[in-house]
Amino acid sequence: MPSSFVKLRHVMPKNKARGGFSILEVVATIGLIMLLTTLVIGGLSKIDSFTSSNKTLESALFEAVKSASNIAQLQNKYTELTYDKRGFFEIADYETAVVDKRIFLKQTTAKAFDEAQKQNKNFSVENLHDLDELIFVLEKPTIYGKEQTQFPQTDRQSIIFAPDGSCSQFSAVIKSKAFEKPLEIKFDNFSATPYGKK
User: Which pLDDT belongs to residue 96?
Assistant: 92
What the chain holds in terms of domains, given with CATH numbers, is 52-197 (3.55.40)
Give bridge partners of residue 173 from the DSSP assignment: 135, 184
Rounded to whole angstroms, how far apart are CA atoms 63 and 194? Answer: 11
Residue 186 to residues 71, 72, 163, 177, Cα–Cα distance (Å): 21, 20, 21, 20
- Amino acid 131 reads L
Taking only the tens of pLDDT, the chain with its 198 residues reads 555 555 555 555 555 556 677 888 889 999 999 888 877 766 555 445 445 567 888 889 999 999 999 999 999 999 999 998 888 899 999 999 899 999 988 888 888 888 888 887 777 766 555 667 888 888 766 566 555 555 555 556 889 999 998 888 888 888 887 778 888 888 888 888 888 666
Please report which helix (H) or strand (E) contains residue 31, including its range.
helix 23-41
pLDDT digits (tens, 9 = 90+) for 86-127: 888 999 999 998 999 999 888 888 888 888 888 877 777 665
pLDDT at residue 49, as a whole number: 47
Q: Which helix (H) or strand (E) holds 161?
A: strand 158-161
Q: In the prediction, which pLDDT does 38 show?
A: 78
Residues contacting residue 45 through CB under 8 Å, at least 6 positions apart: 101
- Contacts of residue 164, defined as CB under 8 A and 6 or more positions apart, other chains included, come to 73
Per-residue three-class SS string for 66-125: HHHHHHHHHCCCCEEEEEECCCEEEEEECCCCCEEEEEECEHHHHHHHHHHHHCCCCCCC
In this predicted structure, what is the pLDDT of residue 71?
94
The strand pair at 79-84 and 142-143 is best described as unpaired
